[in-house]
Amino acid sequence: MLNPDDAKNIATSLVERAMKAGATGADAMLVAGSSTSVSVRLGELEDVSRSDDRDIGLRVFNGQRSASVSSADFSNEALDELVSRAIAMAAEAPDDPFAGLAPADLLLKGEAPDLDSYDPSDPDPAALRERALRAEQAARAVAGVTNSNGGSAGSLASTIALATSGGFAGAYRSSGFSCSASVVAGEGAAMQRDYASHGVRHLEDLDEPEKIGREAGERAAARVAPAKPEPGRYPVLFDPRVSGSLLGHLSAAITGSAIARQTSFLLGRLGERIFAPGVTVRDDPHRLRGSRSRPFDGEGLPARQMDLIANGILTTWLTDSAAARQLGIIPTGHASRGVGGAPGAAPSNLALLPGTRSREELLAAFPRAILVTELIGQGVNGVTGDYSRGAAGFLIEGGEIVRPLAEITIASNLLEMFATLEPGSDLEYRRGIDAPTVLIPEMTVAAG
């Protein structure tokens, strides 16, 4: 795998070639990495895979015209051909009045912060197999588990570099380690499946495989022989496994491209209260060992912590440079991209900060409620905010789980849900998008 300095030099060299070939502006992104994964089922090895990949993408500008190309071949001849092809494509591209690199005066200056995102540990396939076997064995040992979809473990490492003709060049490394198990409980028509998984940047932070396996088995066993509730209006609680999806709908609705196209249900709501007082949604790209931590964005702008929702008020759009120009604002440092194509905008480590009431208090807040632990399908209209999703979970009475539920539909509108939701106090940072248990006081529930 390329080290960061070499990756940065290759990206910088490609930009220089493009500028010498006549581009008015250029940027290059390089991603190189390796990954290993092992899967088992019923105690037997099912698959071992290893990949080593590297790709570089070049975007060139000819005035307000641009084109993007990419290649996995880093030879001088291939890179020269890449530049020639990009220059020729840009000459034929349509004019875009908002196209261009990020403003040079906003680019990250100096050293990028160290976010402790890289662990050089490299477990061999035998160690990964052992971890996967232990997770599956623990899951199958849970009473009521009758079959297995398998266990898996994996590791990866990558180097990301970005260079622009505006004067930015940077690179960083990241790593990842994961383990999961998925099993089936029950017999016949009563059968249900569930899973548990965990992924981290540093191997020492990964949950023990026995814990992951037990969670998978207990979740599956708890769902056996589900019922359907009477249709009606219910308080609905979103388990942390699924509550982060609400933040995904929020971030999609406040991207600059959605606002510029006028295709967001939050259009015109900047600076307004859309959540209850006290609710905060924070984007933190500098969280140490965070799943989505990054020292700079996809255009070389510094990444910084921002409260997208502060005390219930929407404070910002998420923009790359092109969308920011279209909206007449300064780019927010949320450009996100792969090696091919132009940047879009996306958050980094996004979290709904905890509230004051515990999960147990939220579960007991109403005589009868529904706890959702799985969401199925899409069913969200980003233009109107209408929300309708298939779901599974549990019926709650008096604060206690009384029976599993499956094949139900929950429906409302995201504006109403955001305005009334209450976050619990049980926030844990385990994913790229995290939220505690979330209570929505009223939603329509029907049989799926």
Q: What is the pTM of this model?
A: 0.95
Report which of 46, 226, 50 is spatially closest to residue 148, judged by C-alpha positions. 46
Residue percentage of the chain with pLDDT more than 90: 97
Instruction: For 238-253, write each residue's pLDDT tens digit.
Output: 999 999 999 999 999 9
Digit-coded pLDDT (tens) for 386-401: 999 999 999 999 999 9
State the pLDDT at residue 62. Answer: 96
**Phi then psi for 205, rounded to 5 degrees?**
-90, -5
Which pLDDT belongs to residue 1?
76
Q: Is there a contact between 411 and 444 (Cβ–Cβ < 8 Å)?
A: yes
Residues forming a β-bridge with 371:
237, 394
Return the H-helix or E-strand segment holding 214. Answer: helix 209-222
Q: Can you tell me the mean pLDDT for 295-315?
A: 97
pLDDT exceeds 80 at position 448: no
What's the CA gap between 133 and 44, in Å, rounded?
A: 8
State the fold for domain 4-220.
Answer: PmbA/TldD fold (3.30.2290)
Query: What is the rounded average pLDDT of the residues 157-185?
Result: 97
CB 336 within 8 A of CB 31: no
Mean pLDDT of the chain: 96
Q: What pLDDT is recorded for position 378?
A: 86
- Tell me the CA distances in angstroms from 306 to 78, 102, 240, 435, one per residue in order: 41, 19, 22, 16
Give the strand pairing for 368-376 and 232-238. Answer: parallel
pLDDT in tens, 409-420: 999 999 999 999
169: tokens are 């060049």
Q: Of 77, 67, 78, whose CA–CA distance to 24 is shortest?
A: 67
Q: Which residue in the block uniquely carries the two structure tokens 């979740």?
A: 219
**Rg from Cα positions in the chain:** 24
- pLDDT tens by residue, 127-167: 999 999 999 999 999 999 999 999 999 999 999 999 999 99
What pLDDT is stored for residue 191 in this prediction? 95
Neighbour count for residue 73 (Cβ, 10 Å): 12
Amino acid at 326: Q
| pLDDT score recorded for residue 447 | 86
Checking if the pLDDT of 79 tops 80, the result is: yes
Tens of pLDDT along 93-136? 999 999 999 999 999 998 889 999 999 999 999 999 999 999 99
Contact 429, 349 (CB under 8 A): yes
CB 206 within 8 A of CB 177: yes
What's the average model confidence in pLDDT over 185-204?
Answer: 96
CA–CA distance, 59 with 25 (Å, rounded to integer): 8
CB 40 within 8 A of CB 151: yes
Domain residue extents for the chain? 4-220, 226-448
Q: Which residue has the tokens 């929702």?
A: 309
Residues 104, 107: Cα–Cα separation, whole Å? 5
